[in-house]
Structure 1
Amino acid sequence: MPIFGLDNVIVGIVFLFFAFYCFLITRDVNHKRQKETDKENLTELREGVYNGALTAVLCIAMALMYIIPGVTVTLASGTVEERCTLSMYLLYPTPTATFAIYFLGFIFVFIALFVVYEWKTEKFSKAPPPKQKIHKLDKELSRKAFHILIIGVLAVYLIVGRLVVNSLYTWLITAPYDFWGYSGVVLGSDTGLVAINQIVDGGHLITMFGITVVFEFVVLLDLIRLKAPRYFPARILSNLYREKEKDTFGPHVYLITGMLFVVLVFPPPVAMAVIAVSALGDATATIVGVTKGKHEIRPGVSKKTWEGTIAGIVAAFVFGFIGFIAIASAPAYISYIGTVERGIIIGLVINAIALPVFFLIDYYTPKPLPLSDNLLNPILVGFTMWGVYLLF
């Protein structure tokens, strides 16, 4: 008999592992900060400490979101039918969490093969990669490429998710692959698959799965870069890190952590709007600031410009609204808004109210608030949007 919920518990334990190493990285940065005498370096190291600590806290929170329901379902009594149905309400309905665990194994295999390849070809070197002169715009575009790629999240919500879920659960009930015991339990009846589609939100589920896999990949790679740099597979990318990021996590880790937290906590339309604001708004602000920025917001304190900030605010509103209404108006999500007309009003209001939060985060980070906007935007903008959404 399948043990429903155990796979969610294992995923939660993986998040606790990441949280543990986040605290280790934070401790190392803090030790370096205590010995630092240069004021500028001290400020940057303090930012690394706070970012690492907040990332660890988010990992613990997400771990508990997996572990508590997982343990509850694992220990639940009742028939197989009852427990199978109950497992559909987990963050990852069985067996999706199992696939997330499999992908973690694939990542370890990839890293191991890379290490073996480097040893075989004798290309291994303890020396850092040669520094290359990279144009400032090219560097920022490369750094923000990860932000822009999240537009694929919209496609997963609207198209890919339900197709994958339909294929997955249809495949699992076929006789040769019925190792989860679904046939004749939940999916065995003529209406079983329909029932699953009503319980399991395909777009949301596959979005969570995809972001979780990316999270596992980027966090593991960054841990290798920090703890064992000679094993880092993407050493050429080291040139894209800023000096203050050499001893702590890169901005992409903070962004993917915030995105995953958003997808786990908030309803799909709000989650998509928050992701669009956090990623595309921030990317626009940076790119416009680098190319067109001439008027610094706080000369001598920050290099952020009014041109970049205003462009970021406009982009945040536009992309946030498009993200919200695109998801909310889809047939699978229309219940979140009632009607398209009502959804347009909700989308305009929640994005308009989120703009001051976006601006304040951009204005006060990383000085005097020593935190990354990649972490603060998903959290603060997310709870702001969600709070306003609940008022409707």
Structure 2
Amino acid sequence: MPSREVIFEVLRKSVHLISILIVLIYELFGKETILWVLMLFLITVLLLDYLRLEHGMRIPFFYIMYREHEADRLGGHIYFALGAISAIALFNKEIAYAAILMTTFGDLAAALIGKFHGKRRIFKKIFKNDKSIEGSTSEFIIDFFIGLLITGNPAVSLIMSFFATLAETAVNKIDDNLVVPIFSGFFGQITLILLALMGNS
């Protein structure tokens, strides 16, 4: 992989490290505050994409962050904001934290390991993409440890990391920044509820 592409990929993924800031704001100032912050962020990036897509404006710095396939469609940061808003609004705090952090760090691990060391394609005929076994495995491992660190529950962590990795691997045309936090968070929340019910029975 050319060094320029590596730098671009790291730079693009580093923008998603805003997920750490999301978790910190939520923890320090509460749910309502972080939802307002994310809504303001969403409005800002929607405005930028409006100028880019509807008026052809090349906004300095922001323009280089888009991939080739995003040239005529919404950028990943918009879907990331929507995914984070959905996770925070619908799931409990720990599940939301884990889902958002998995979206960032799991995706980062899959992208970098896959590009540097990915040799074997994973179910290419089924998923119709170029995801590698090495990248997907590294994502699953990172996601599992994130879930374990945040929730402290191995079963919830396992379910969340499985669905985060599956969503990341399976989607090609739908943005993974949206499906990963929603699917991992939903099934993590369901698992937590089922465990609580079994514990009370």
Q: CA RMSD in A?
A: 2.1
Select the residue among 327, 335, 351 that pairs with 2:157. Answer: 351
Residues in 2 aligned to 1:217 and 1:389: alpha-carbon distance in whole angstroms: 35
- Moved runs in structure 1, 4+ residues, more than 3 A? 298-301
Instruction: Check conservation: 2:159, 2:184, Cα contact below 8 A.
Output: no
1:98-113 map, 5 Å: none
Select the residue among 2, 12, 19 that pairs with 1:150. Answer: 19
Residue 209 of structure 1: CA displacement? 2.1
- Aligned partner of 2:118 in structure 1 is 293
| Count of aligned positions | 192
Instruction: Check conservation: 1:154, 1:323, Cα contact below 8 A.
Output: no
What secondary structure sits across from 2:74 in the alignment? Answer: coil
- Aligned partner of 2:91 in structure 1 is 266
- Aligned partner of 1:240 in structure 2 is 65
Residues in 2 aligned to 1:323 and 1:144: alpha-carbon distance in whole angstroms: 21
- Aligned partner of 1:305 in structure 2 is 132
Instruction: Check conservation: 1:148, 1:283, Cα contact below 8 A.
Output: no
Q: Deviations over 1:10-40 (max 9, x none)?
A: xxxxxxxxxxxxxxxxxxxxxxxxxxxxxxx
Residue 286 of structure 1: CA displacement? 0.9
Q: Deviations over 1:194-247 (max 9, x none)?
A: xxxxxxxxx2222222222211211211121111123x5x34432332222111
Pick the structure with more helix per residue: 2
- Which amino acid is the alignment partner of residue 84 of structure 2? M
Residue 298 of structure 1: CA displacement? 4.3
TM-score normalised per structure 1: 0.46
Instruction: Check conservation: 1:313, 1:359, Cα contact below 8 A.
Output: yes
Instruction: Check conservation: 1:147, 1:283, Cα contact below 8 A.
Output: no
What secondary structure sits across from 1:150 in the alignment? Answer: helix
Residues in 1 aligned to 2:138 and 2:101: alpha-carbon distance in whole angstroms: 14
Residues in 2 aligned to 1:205 and 1:322: alpha-carbon distance in whole angstroms: 24
What secondary structure sits across from 2:48 in the alignment? Answer: helix
- Which amino acid is the alignment partner of residue 114 of structure 2? G
Indicate how the Cα distance of structure 1 residues 299 and 385 shifts in structure 2: closer, same or farther if over 3 A, else same: closer
1:1-392 map, 5 Å: 135-158=4-27, 160-161=28-29, 203-230=30-57, 232=58, 234-298=59-123, 301-324=128-151, 344=152, 347-366=153-172, 370-391=173-194, 392=196
Residues in 2 aligned to 1:380 and 1:211: alpha-carbon distance in whole angstroms: 20
Q: Deviations over 1:313-364 (max 9, x none)?
A: 111111223233xxxxxxxxxxxxxxxxxxx3xx321111123222322332
Residue 134 of structure 1: CA displacement? 7.2
Higher relative CO (Cα under 8 Å, sequence separation at least 6) belongs to: 2
Residue 293 of structure 1: CA displacement? 2.1
Indicate how the Cα distance of structure 1 residues 322 and 207 shifts in structure 2: closer, same or farther if over 3 A, else same: farther
Residues in 1 aligned to 2:164 and 2:94: alpha-carbon distance in whole angstroms: 18
Residues in 1 aligned to 2:145 and 2:73: alpha-carbon distance in whole angstroms: 33
Residues in 2 aligned to 1:318 and 1:147: alpha-carbon distance in whole angstroms: 19
Q: Deviations over 1:26-55 (max 9, x none)?
A: xxxxxxxxxxxxxxxxxxxxxxxxxxxxxx
Q: Please, which runs of 5 or more residues in structure 1 have no aligned partner?
A: 1-132, 162-202, 325-343
Residues in 1 aligned to 2:147 and 2:48: alpha-carbon distance in whole angstroms: 30
Residue 145 of structure 1: CA displacement? 1.2
Instruction: Check conservation: 2:105, 2:143, Cα contact below 8 A.
Output: yes
TM-score normalised per structure 2: 0.85
